[in-house]
Amino acid sequence: MRTRLLTPTLVALLALAGCAQGGTTPAGQAPPPADGPTPAGKTFTANSAMDKGTPHALVPGSTVSLSFEDNRLTATAGCNSIGGTVSFSGGTLQPGELSITEMACDAPLHDQDKWLAAFLQAKPTWRLDGDKLTLRSAETELALAVPKKADLAGPKWTVESLLAAETATSTPNTSTASLTFTATTVAIETGCNSGTANYTVQGKTLRFDPPLLTKMACADGSSEVENAIIAALGQATTYTIEAQSLTLTNGDKGLVLRASS
């Protein structure tokens, strides 16, 4: 998976895709407080967006999220990951030099990546109201909130990345791979084959019976994802849920998944 820096030239090109330069308080908006709580240490997901006073539709099924940890920003818009240092001084979100991964994306997600990257580089103002975060540039407003912690059973968990020896790799071929848990079974979609497995919960450990899957031949990318899913569903798989993100780890193999409806 390749990563590139968002250079000034690239940022200028991205800005033409739909974000005006920011960094100043838009007309009619009170400046953010000089002190008090900041977004640091939290993850937010977007609920809505506005461009030039009209609703900006986010790609259906995608999740736009911003995470702030240890003076760093990690942002996703449904495909690639944007990351770099960040500060909140003066009520303005001030990212340092940002980089972005270079995964292949469908055109709508590619455009949404560009839109979010340009918006962040515009240094929008920020306002925090409890668990709600509002970012504004001269023309764009993004309303976000800390998502509620999802339950294991119920949501459709879509695979976002594959884990191997504590290293995460992302692939566009995970977009149709998912797990959906009930109290005792999990429905499995690998992007090629499908099936189910029984499981039990013991604390933070999931114990899966061998999955029963269809036997279709898979393309190379789909086969890689399928093998990773099967490897993650073991007899001693640990799981953690943070907001809308689920991590499954079985030895040095694992998955990162995100909840969707």
107-121 and 8-15 helices, crossing angle to 10°: 110
DSSP symbol at 105: -
| Radius of gyration, CA atoms only, the chain | 20
pLDDT at 164: 83
pLDDT at 218: 86
Q: Of 259, 168, 169, 177, give the one whose Cα is nearest residue 223.
A: 177
Q: Of 98, 92, 93, 95, give the one whose Cα is nearest residue 10.
A: 98
CATH numbers and ranges of domains, the chain: 3-145 (2.40.128.270), 156-260 (2.40.128.270)
Mean pLDDT of 44-57: 95
Average pLDDT, the chain: 85
**pLDDT tens-digit series, residues 187-245:** 999 999 999 999 999 999 999 999 999 999 888 778 889 999 999 999 999 999 988 88
Chain centre distance of CA 115:
15
Q: How far is it, in rounded angstroms, from Cα 31 to Cα 127?
A: 9
Q: How far is it, in rounded angstroms, from Cα 244 to Cα 235?
A: 24
Q: How far is it, in rounded angstroms, from Cα 68 to Cα 47?
A: 18
Mean pLDDT of 79-102: 92
Residue % of the chain over a pLDDT of 90: 62
Binning the chain into helix, strand and coil, the percentages to the nearest 5 are 15, 40, 40
